[in-house]
């Protein structure tokens, strides 16, 4: 008679053979269920007419457990009775399990031989079931459980003691150094944030260690007792099965992962090469005909987006799970959200690059956009920031700039200067040459006005009651234009008052009894301030 160990090895061989058959036929995995007693698999059975594989396995488990609990039953009475289409494994007159030709076909064995092996396995399972529930075994299991509990509690206390000492050392020694750290590599992170990250990592490591200890303790303790042994076996599978699945999937996806790694390396190399090339163009070391140096950075950003998009398109089929319905659904959902919520974003994005390549203005230019006049502080892809004369910051979306009228005071001022201009209305009784001389005098008194080109005066209109004169004066830059205008207007008022000429604008109703001029002695009446005050 073969020994129980021989039967166990033979059953293991049968299980391995069945595993190979499962890999060849995926349908076999769907119709088989294990027969488990006290966490140990005795056999795998398939479904039969009227009973699924799970139902049949549960019924066999219940019958074997009932036979094991019957102390009057001798395990040696477990035998096989043969018929034409089934081999019945019985305990005396009670049926424990039937072995059909289909079961033997799945195991690729003769039905009678498979039934004899299963009978021996069931005998051993009954004997082991009873032996594990003897008072001596239960007392020994309890003793080992108490020892394991004591070891677990001691290890837990040791872990908290050691980690507490390490935490105190880190707080006393390491924390001041981290808080004072200001290096080139970590300068962008405040020291307190670095310390919080280190503390959180240490706490996470302690939690993982305690959880692992608890898992080992629970798994060992549960397997000591027959009633909880199935739970302990499943507890081990909860951790090992996901790891096994991940490992198997990793091996299966290894060629795709290697391809993705090559794509990442090549993409990074291309991006680094493009960055160096556009940096040389931006610095002026490399010059391209018709390509402005200030276009280098935005062009690099556009090309970088294109390179990354191309790499994603190439890599997409090789991403693990990319063919799953969940991945496709997530991609569609993300695309819908992007299309709904990014219309203004894309409009401003495209408008930002349009402004760059159309060269409407540059950083530092004095511009007028709509009703806003100021200096360009920054041109981003989404918005443009201006600083007004009153030191106010105005943020304008780029999409609105494309639909607005833009006046650039700086673009031509560097070559021919910017022309300050203002108009006055003077009556016909004043000689136009005198008016021209007075306006030129006011312009010459204004700081920043250039002598070359010289200021000039235009007679822009002959109205019903007055002649409209326009003074035009060149200034070299656009800085403090509001101040220059203020000074020019003040000098015009002073000069016309000095010569007793009345300014007729904005309207004229009739000649007053006295000319509307301010005599010199009244220029500084209270509360006016003198220039030196």
Q: Mean pLDDT throughout 28-42? A: 73
Q: Mean pLDDT throughout 232-258? A: 80
**Which tops the pLDDT comparison, 80 or 27?**
80
* pLDDT > 60? residue 224: yes
Res 414: pLDDT: 63
Classify domain 348-408 at the CATH topology level: SH3 type barrels. (2.30.30)
* pLDDT > 50? residue 365: yes
Res 1: pLDDT: 39
Res 265: pLDDT: 93
Res 170: pLDDT: 86
Res 25: pLDDT: 39
**Which tops the pLDDT comparison, 518 or 438?**
438
Res 115: pLDDT: 85
Res 158: pLDDT: 93
| Among the ranges given (8-17, 117-126, 220-229, 388-397), the one the predictor scored with the smallest mean pLDDT | 8-17
* pLDDT > 80? residue 207: yes
Res 28: pLDDT: 39
Res 480: pLDDT: 74
Confidence tier at 272 by pLDDT (50, 70, 90): very high
Task: Answer left, alpha or beta for residue 83, where phi above 0 means left and psi between -120 and 50 means alpha.
Answer: beta
- Contact call for residues 180 and 191 (beta carbons, < 8 A): yes
Nearest Cα neighbor of 13 from 146, 132, 117, 169 is 117
Give the start-to-end residue ranges of the domains of the chain: 4-131, 135-252, 256-341, 348-408, 413-522
Sheet strand arrangement including 393-397: 393-397, 383-388, 372-379, 366-369, 406-408
Complete DSSP assignment for 384-444 = EEEEETTS-EEEEEHHHHHTS-EEESSTTHHHH-EEEEEEEEEETTS-HHHHHHHHHHHHH
* pLDDT > 60? residue 17: no
Give me the chain's average pLDDT, please.
Answer: 79
Confidence tier at 157 by pLDDT (50, 70, 90): very high
- For domain 413-522, the question of CATH label 3.40.50.620 is answered with no
Q: Residue 451 and residue 457: Cα distance in Å, rounded?
A: 14
Burial class (CB in 10 A: 0-12, 13-18, 19+), 275: middle
For 5-16, write each residue's pLDDT tens digit: 444 444 444 444
Q: Residue 132 and residue 230: Cα distance in Å, rounded?
A: 14
Res 243: pLDDT: 79
Q: Residue 194 and residue 154: Cα distance in Å, rounded?
A: 33
Res 264: pLDDT: 92
| Among the ranges given (52-61, 165-174, 347-356, 473-482), the one the predictor scored with the smallest mean pLDDT | 347-356
Q: Other C-beta atoms within 10 Å of 484: how many?
A: 20
Q: Mean pLDDT throughout 171-186? A: 70
- In degrees to the nearest 10, what's the CA dihedral of 25, 31, 37, 39? 60
* pLDDT > 90? residue 492: yes
* pLDDT > 90? residue 146: yes
Q: Mean pLDDT throughout 261-284? A: 89
**pLDDT > 90 fraction of the chain, expressed in percent and rounded:** 15
Confidence tier at 463 by pLDDT (50, 70, 90): confident
| Among the ranges given (169-183, 204-218, 324-338, 352-366), the one the predictor scored with the smallest mean pLDDT | 324-338
Res 103: pLDDT: 79
- Contact call for residues 386 and 375 (beta carbons, < 8 A): yes
Q: Residue 8 and residue 479: Cα distance in Å, rounded?
A: 96
Res 150: pLDDT: 94
Choose from 172-186, 210-224, 373-387 the range with maximum mean pLDDT.
210-224
Q: Mean pLDDT throughout 505-518? A: 66
């Amino acid at each position: 008679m073969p020994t129980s160990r021989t039967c166990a090895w033979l059953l293991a061989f049968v299980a391995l053979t069945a595993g190979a058959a499962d890999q060849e036929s995926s349908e076999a995995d769907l119709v088989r269920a294990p027969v488990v007693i006290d966490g140990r698999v005795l056999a795998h059975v398939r479904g039969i007419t009227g009973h699924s594989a799970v139902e049949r396995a549960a019924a066999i488990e219940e019958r074997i457990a009932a036979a094991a609990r019957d102390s009057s039953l001798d395990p040696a009475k477990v035998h096989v009775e043969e018929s034409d289409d089934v081999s019945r494994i019985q305990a005396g007159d009670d049926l424990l399990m039937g072995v059909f030709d289909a079961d033997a076909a799945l195991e690729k064995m003769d039905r009678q031989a498979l039934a004899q092996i299963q009978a021996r396995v069931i005998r051993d399972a009954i004997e082991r079931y009873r032996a594990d529930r003897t008072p001596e075994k239960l007392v020994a299991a309890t003793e080992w459980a108490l020892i394991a509990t004591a070891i677990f509690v001691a290890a837990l206390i040791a872990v908290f003691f050691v980690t507490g000492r390490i935490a105190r050392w880190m707080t006393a020694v390491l924390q001041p150094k981290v808080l004072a750290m200001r290096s080139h590599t970590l300068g962008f992170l405040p020291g307190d944030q670095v310390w919080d990250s280190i503390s959180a990592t240490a706490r996470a490591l302690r939690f993982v260690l305690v959880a692992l200890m608890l898992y080992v303790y629970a798994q060992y303790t549960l397997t000591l007792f027959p009633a909880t042994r199935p739970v302990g076996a499943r507890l081990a599978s909860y951790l090992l099965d996901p790891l096994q699945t991940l490992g198997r999937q990793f091996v299966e996806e290894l060629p795709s992962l290697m391809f993705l790694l090559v794509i990442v390396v090549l993409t990074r190399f291309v991006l680094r090469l493009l960055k160096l090339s556009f940096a040389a163009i931006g610095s002026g070391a490399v010059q391209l005909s018709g390509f402005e140096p200030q276009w280098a950075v935005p062009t690099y950003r556009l090309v970088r987006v294109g390179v990354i998009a191309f790499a994603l398109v190439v890599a997409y089929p090789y991403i693990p799970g990319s063919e799953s319905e969940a991945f496709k659904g997530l991609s569609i959902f993300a695309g819908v959200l992007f299309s709904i919520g990014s219309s203004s974003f894309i409009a401003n994005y495209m408008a930002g690059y349009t402004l760059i390549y159309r060269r409407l203005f540059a950083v530092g230019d004095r511009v007028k956009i709509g009703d806003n006049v100021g200096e360009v502080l920054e041109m981003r892809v989404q918005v443009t920031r201006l600083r007004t004369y009153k030191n106010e910051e105005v943020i304008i979306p780029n999409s609105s700039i494309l639909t607005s009228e833009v006046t650039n005071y700086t673009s031509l001022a560097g070559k021919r200067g910017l022309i300050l201009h203002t108009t006055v209305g003077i009556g016909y009784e004043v000689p136009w040459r005198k008016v021209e001389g007075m306006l030129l005098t006011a312009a010459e008194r204004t700081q920043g006005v250039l002598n070359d080109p010289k200021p000039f005066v235009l007679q822009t209109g002959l109205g019903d009651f007055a002649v409209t004169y326009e003074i035009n004066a060149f200034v070299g830059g656009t800085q403090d234009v509001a101040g220059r205008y203020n000074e020019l207007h003040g000098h015009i008022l002073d000069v016309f008052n000095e010569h007793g000429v009345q300014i007729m604008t904005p309207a004229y109703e009739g000649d007053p009894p006295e000319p509307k001029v301010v005599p010199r002695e009244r220029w500084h009446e209270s509360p006016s301030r003198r220039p030196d005050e």
